[in-house]
A = this chain, B = another copy of it.
Amino acid sequence: DDQTTTTYDIELIPGDGIGPEVVDAALPLIRAVADDHGLAFDITRRDWGTEYYLEQGEMMPEDGVSRLADSDAIFLGAVGHPTVPDHVTLHGLLLPIRKGLDQYICKRPNVLFEGIETPLQGYDAGDIDFVVYRENTEGEYADIGGREHRGFNHETAVQSALFTREGTERIVRAAFEAATERDGHLTSVTKSNAQAHSMVFWDDIVEEVSEDYPSVTVERLLVDAASMDLIRRPHEFDIIVASNLFGDILTDIGAQITGSMGLAPSGNIHPGDENPSMFEPVHGSAPDIVGDGVANPLATVLSWSMLLEDVGEKTAATALWDAVTNQLADGAAPRTPDLGGDATTEAVVDDLRSRL
């Protein structure tokens, strides 16, 4: 046999709640796809997250981010716990990784798959298909601000959003690049009318970068109008570029109008080889269904597909993506409860394997 095997070093953080369930259920499928395409994954498992925190007082070891840095890619299940505040779980794990590894693109495809019902009237499979490029390291999530005069009448809190030229230019450029590879239509979402310090700067950068992409049509929307338009005319979007906060809101609306949070994959991407990118389902840790074995694994599987595409394994990525598309289109296939079925996580994954 003269097949060579390419091996990828993967850091796996199953995390909290249903994270480990979906991650572990998906692994045999992922290994099977790898086998089929002459690939192998060398997986290092990191049991970081809230359990780790409750024992160690921190969500991951102090040098956690640097331990991840040499891998080819990172896969994260979910983070969050009912009894530990979100700002602890997130600022202790998810956000430091995004920032520390400079994963400045949060890429989130929003696709209405065949077989999936949208809450919107009059939309069919294929009608909704756009990708959000969300800035992922600065903007409204910058850890700048404070709170003074606690408990007094003049108590005041300030939260500052930070936009740098490099930080803004590179996400805008990545979005323009993506638009040239799709339908050539880019929507930039801001709130320039009310946030003139930051958002007019963003608009100026979009204007500048657009000169390098004359074939891309550029549309500007205010975030309030964009939120409406995702409900009113989602079929008209192709690539959306937005700040950290606005991208967060728009991608959640995107997940909702395409039928389920259980289907939404995402990548936190640092382009190039310097740092690994991290892939994760958009859904959270879903404490209410932990242990029931019915968490939807599809967002995890689609996120693995994005990972494979990102490391250059396009064929394997497509095989995984197509298995999901195929399963969803098949009315007889097993589905988890969030999609109206009563199948287990495992049954869904087994069925996907049979479709490879």
- Which residues of chain A have a CB within 8 Å of any CB of chain B? 86-87, 90-91, 95, 117-122, 140-141, 143-147, 149, 152-166, 191-202, 222-225, 227-228, 231-232, 244-245, 248-249, 251-253, 255-257, 261
Contact = CB atoms under 8 A, between A and B. Distances in A.
B245 A228 contact: no
Nearest to A122: B119
A253 to B, nearest CB: 5
Nearest to A139: B159
* Among A194, A245, A257, residue most surrounded by chain B Cβ atoms (within 10 Å): A194
B157 A198 contact: yes
A231 B256 contact: yes
Given A86-B192, A158-B161, A159-B160, 19 more contacts: A86-B193, A86-B222, A87-B196, A91-B196, A120-B120, A140-B191, A141-B194, A153-B166, A155-B165, A158-B162, A159-B163, A160-B160, A191-B248, A227-B249, A228-B252, A228-B256, A228-B261, A231-B231, A253-B253
Contacts of A202: 157
* Among A225, A231, A261, residue most surrounded by chain B Cβ atoms (within 10 Å): A231
26 contacts: A118-B121, A119-B120, A121-B121, A140-B195, A143-B196, A143-B197, A145-B160, A145-B161, A146-B197, A152-B165, A154-B164, A155-B165, A156-B163, A156-B164, A157-B163, A157-B198, A158-B163, A159-B197, A194-B245, A223-B245, A224-B248, A224-B249, A225-B252, A228-B252, A228-B253, A231-B253
Contacts of A199: 159
A197 B145 CA distance: 6
B165 A200 contact: no
Contacts of A196: 87, 91, 143
A199 B87 CA distance: 11
Contact of A194 (B90, B155, B192, B193): B90
Contacts of A222: 86
